[in-house]
Structure 1
Amino acid sequence: MNKPGEIRLLALGLIRDGDRIFVSEGYDPVKQETFYRALGGGVDFGETSRAALEREFQEEIQADLTNIRYLGCIENLFTFNGRQGHEIIQLYQCDFADPKFYQLESLIFSESETHKHKALWIDIARFKSGKFRLVPEVFFEYL
């Protein structure tokens, strides 16, 4: 989450396998709501968004990416944990280089010592039906 008054630049990777996408599970304790988002993370100063995407996947789940293609830029204004957030997302479509990731149902990864997250494959139909919440909602335009 960004500091108050700060705009955060992210690089996220949309990985699709047939009718399912690979996403990270999040939880907002104030809203008491589970949500899902493409994996990736912050772009460091002096780093391209593509390099950040590859670094984040390597750091978080030790995965190399292939067939990386820029999709577009998304501006995301949101509220998380009772605080307003503002993100500029550089969105990429990509594939896992190692086919083993397509066989997984889910995996646990750490963004830090205290923040563990779950990544999993979810059928796109579950998002479209409203059963699961995909954020930001504009991601639907890229599916």
Structure 2
Amino acid sequence: MFPRSNALGILLRGNQILVERFEGMHSKGDGTYYRPIGGTIEFGEYSKQTIVREFLEELSVEIKIGRYIGCLENIYRVGDEIGHEITQLYLVEFADRRKYSKDRFVVREGERTSEAHWVDIDDFITRSKFIYPNGLEDLLSDWRSISYTSVERT
């Protein structure tokens, strides 16, 4: 087994972050947990390309890539399974500003359908809600330093 490389887009609306909602077992227990939109980096694909592709495939929306935020590496356990992932994080924004007024998005990934919505960042910082990958809540605690001024115009 090898580590999984993935990329996630951090999309902010005020003090909220757009995240997909999941139910089930996770490394901190059982129940509801959240993850920003993104996915596995395919062979021959740059992590920035992954985020653009994933937002288009899963939410049917176009985004603009902002600045690179950082990398999180996690080795975690869910039940008897051990996972290892290396995650590239980027600040992103909707290409169509009108999308920010939408409160919920349908997420389609293959046959699976779920929902993404805005969650207050403080819920993750205080750990009243769980967000993955591990360590993201610490990065979000400094979210006010993340600016939209470096968005690439491609």
TM-score over 0.5 (shorter chain): yes
Q: Does 1:12 align with 2:3?
A: no
Pick from 99, 104, 119: which aligns with 1:106? 104
**Superposition deviation, residue 98 in structure 1:** 1.2
Q: Is the 8 A contact 1:65 1:97 kept in 2?
A: yes
Is 72-81 or 85-94 further displaced after alignment?
72-81
How far apart, in 1, do the equivalents of 2:11 and 2:103 lie? 14
For normalisation by structure 1, the TM-score amounts to 0.87
What pairs up with 1:1-143 in 2 under 5 angstroms? 5-29=1-25, 31-80=29-78, 82-113=80-111, 115-143=112-140
For normalisation by structure 2, the TM-score amounts to 0.81
**Superposition deviation, residue 87 in structure 1:** 0.6
Runs of 4+ in 1 over 3 A off after TM superposition: none
How far apart, in 1, do the equivalents of 2:69 and 2:77 lie? 25
Q: Is the 8 A contact 1:110 1:116 kept in 2?
A: yes
**Once the two structures are superposed, what CA deviation does each residue of 1:73-101 show, in whole Å capped at 9, x if it has no partner?**
11012233642111110110111111232
Alignment CA distance shift 1:82-1:119 (3 Å): farther
> Secondary structure at 1:57's aligned position in 2?
helix
- The amino acid of 2:23's aligned partner reads Y
Alignment CA distance shift 1:98-1:18 (3 Å): same
Q: Is the 8 A contact 1:28 1:80 kept in 2?
A: no
How far apart, in 1, do the equivalents of 2:50 and 2:65 lie? 16
The sequence identity of aligned pairs, in percent, is 34
Is 75-84 or 131-140 further displaced after alignment?
75-84
How far apart, in 1, do the equivalents of 2:80 and 2:30 lie? 11
How many residues align? The count is 138
**Superposition deviation, residue 122 in structure 1:** 0.5
C-alpha RMSD over aligned residues: 1.7
> Secondary structure at 1:133's aligned position in 2?
coil
Q: Is the 8 A contact 1:19 1:124 kept in 2?
A: yes
Q: Is the 8 A contact 1:22 1:38 kept in 2?
A: yes
**Superposition deviation, residue 67 in structure 1:** 4.5
Q: Is the 8 A contact 2:125 2:138 kept in 1?
A: no
Is 116-125 or 126-135 further displaced after alignment?
126-135
